[in-house]
Each structure stands twice: as structure tokens, then as C-alpha cells.
Amino acid sequence: MNVVGSQIDTSRRAVEVAAKHPEMMRAVVGLHPIHLIQTHVDEEEDSVNTRAEIFDSAAYRSLLRSSSLVTGVGECGLDYFRLPDSAVDGTGTMLDRQQIRQLQRTVFAQHVELAIEEKKTLMIHTRQGERARDSITGDGPNAYDDVYTILKNFQFPISNFQLRIIMHCFSGTLEHAKAFLDLGATISFSGIVTFKNAKELHEVVRQTPLERICIETDSPYLAPEPHRGSRNEPAYVVEVAKAIAALKNIPLEQVAEQTTKNALELFQ
């Protein structure tokens, strides 16, 4: 199990939890894009006031080096969903929506640099925006396109180290999936694949090689069917595996075996 941080305090806690259970747990540390500004995030399962943290690469580098149980950098990336019209960042500066997106892009690139330097797996969060609010045409900035552009700017492969990438809780299009697979990324699916209306994502599952798939919960969010609406937990990940097995018309045991192998290799 990977315990994933979302800012400096929870990243430290992730390392502490992994240290208590080294036989079964590993830690991933990073700054989630929603924590770059002060705002209120209201989800179906939970709500939180974000903290407006300044990304301190030295602090996160220290955490990465503090234990062999720290396997990755993240959860980092871009989150254009429900961006406020304005918000205060970690320096106390008021930013508009365009500036918030630019701040996210800058800090994500810093995470990529850190993962390359420390040779750690990069766990990427990507969430689309409410396009109707972003432009007259309703075709606003695309978070997946921006993540891809930033990664491509690092010119893969990077020297002698091929950056290991996992697209966490993937919900993009088939075209996006193919683009990230071409970069060598692993696609990770959550409880969304059990939702009947997630038709486009079902096709992504069908066309993504099993050798490039991981499964996850994204606890406490996105509980799969038949637990949808409740607090998610690691035990429910089997429902994600069942959905993938059904979509690919293969045995559940094959999904379990291969995705476990994939995760072990991805996180070294």
C-alpha cells in the first residue's frame, strides 16, 4: 500500500505511517495543486479548507531522502476543477484564475525536476476544469494537455534515467491515455471505472495494455460500486479490479496478479 501525502504535514505523516508498517506500506510525498491557494474544497465525501503552501523543494527532498520507504513524488499535478475566481497564495498575494493555473504549472514542473533528481516515481494528479466558466465557447484550458506539454518539455528519455510516471486516478480521454502511454507512463484506475456512465473511461481500460495498468482507491474519495457515496477504503480496490476484468473479459486473478506486478516494478 502507498500512503500518499498532499502537503508537507501529511507527507511527513505518510513517512511516519510507513515506518510503523514497513512490511506492507510505502510513502509518496508531495504538494497537491489545491494546496497552493487558500480556498474551500467541498467534495461529496469530505470538505477541506486548503492551506496556501509555498512549495519548498528542500523540505520535500529531505523527506525523500529520509527513508528507503519513500518511493515517489506526489500527489502533484494540475487541478483546474472548480478554480475560484481569485484566491490568496502562500505569499499572501491575491491571484486570479489564470495566475492560479500558472502557479500550478510552475510547481508541477518543480515536482518533475525533483523526481528526476531523486530517481523517484512521479504520481500525477490531473483534473479537468469546468470549461463553461473558462471561456465563451466552453472550451477552456485542458489540464491533461498542460500536464503532457510540461512532461514533454523535459525531453524523454532523460539522460540515463527514464522517469517512472503514474497517471493517478485517470479520467481523461483515450487520446490522452495513448499520449501518456507513449511517454512510458502507467495508467492508474480508481472506482470511477465501476460507474455505469463512465463509458469513455471504459474504452480507455479496454485499450490500455494490462501491463501498463495499476489500480487504486483514492481514499476517502470515489468509492466504487456497490459502495458509491460512502467513505472509500483500501478493501474496496477489489471492485476496481473486478470492473477491469469484466471490461477486458479476462479472469479477476489475472488482473490482480499483473497489476500487483506493475505496481511493484513502478515503485521499485
pLDDT digits (tens, 9 = 90+) for 216-247: 998 888 898 898 888 999 999 999 999 999 99
Residue 55 has pLDDT above 50, yes or no: yes
Q: Grid coordinates representing 211?
A: 501491463
| Per-chain mean pLDDT for the chain | 91
Give me the pLDDT at residue 162, please: 76
Give me the pLDDT at residue 45, please: 58
Give me the pLDDT at residue 157, please: 54
16 vs 83 pLDDT, higher one = 16
Q: How far apart are CA 208 and CA 47, in angstroms?
A: 33
Residue 7 has pLDDT above 90, yes or no: yes
Confidence bin at 40 (pLDDT 50/70/90)? confident
Residue 83 has pLDDT above 90, yes or no: no
Percent of the chain with pLDDT over 90: 76
Residue 210 has pLDDT above 60, yes or no: yes
Q: Which residues contact 195 (CB under 8 A, 6 or more apart)?
A: 225, 228
Residue 62 has pLDDT above 50, yes or no: yes
> Mind listing the domains of the chain with CATH numbers?
2-266 (3.20.20.140)
Whether the CB-CB separation of 36 and 125 falls below 8 Å is answered with: no
Rounded alpha-carbon distances, angstroms, from residue 249 to 224, 245, 266: 19, 6, 25
Confidence bin at 132 (pLDDT 50/70/90)? very low
Cis check: omega of the bond before 224, within 30 degrees of 0: no
**Which residue bears the cell 504520481?**
123
Residues linked to residue 77 through DSSP beta bridges, in sequence order: 125
Cis check: omega of the bond before 157, within 30 degrees of 0: yes
Look at phi and psi of residue 165 and say left if phi exceeds 0, alpha if psi is from -120 to 50, else beta: beta
